[in-house]
Amino acid sequence: MIEALRFINVLGAAIMAGGQLFVLMVVIPIKRQWDERRSVELHQASLHTLPDRYLLPAGVISGLAGLLWLVLEFGSDRWATWLTLVGLLGIVGTAVTSQRFNKPTNRTILGWSLDAIPPGYAEIRDRWDRVHTIRTASGLLALTAFLLAAVLE
C-alpha cells in the first residue's frame, strides 16, 4: 500500500506540474504574441475551466496521498519524510496561488466581452503570468521533492 500511495503521489504531482509547465512554456508565449482580442479569447477558452478538470484533482490526490504516506510512514526514512513535507509545501503553494490570485482573475476575464476589453488588460495579463510562474515553480518543487522521496525510500 505504501508503494501505491507514493505512485499516486508522484503521478498526481507530475500531471499537475506538466499541465502548469505547458501553460507557462506554450500558452503564455502564444497569448503574448497575439493581439488583445485573441489573447483574451485564448485565456477565456483555455485557462478557466478546462485545466481544472484534471490539474486540480491531480494536485489534490497527490497531496492527499503524500499526507497519508506521512501518517503511515512518518519517520521511517528521515529524508523521504522531509522531502514529502517539502512536496506538500509545493502543493500548498500551488493551491494558494491558484485560489487567491489566478482563479479570481480567470473569473473576471471570463466575464469580459471580446468587443469591450477593459483598458489595462496587459497589466492584468502580466500579473496573471507572474503568479502562474510562481505556481508552476511550486508544482515543480512538489514533483521534484516527491520523486526524490520515492527514490530514497
SS3 annotation, 93-109: HHHHHHHHHHHHHHHHH
pLDDT at 52 over 90: no
Cα-only R_g, the chain: 17
pLDDT at 49 over 90: no
pLDDT recorded at residue 80:
93
Q: What band does 132 get if pLDDT is binned at 50, 70 and 90?
A: very high
pLDDT recorded at residue 1:
83
Residue-wise pLDDT for 90-99, tens only, equals 999 999 999 9
CB count, 10 Å around CB of 123? 9
Give the C-alpha separation, 121 to 79, whole Å: 45
pLDDT at 73 over 90: no
The C-alpha cell that represents 26 in the structure block:
506554450
Residue-wise pLDDT for 13-31, tens only, equals 999 999 999 999 999 999 9
Mean per-residue pLDDT over the chain, rounded: 93
φ, ψ for residue 10 (rounded to 5)?
-70, -45
pLDDT at 50 over 80: no
Percent of the chain with pLDDT over 70: 99
pLDDT at 76 over 90: no
pLDDT at 140 over 90: yes
The C-alpha cell that represents 87 in the structure block:
512536496
pLDDT recorded at residue 122:
94
pLDDT recorded at residue 54:
86
pLDDT recorded at residue 47:
74
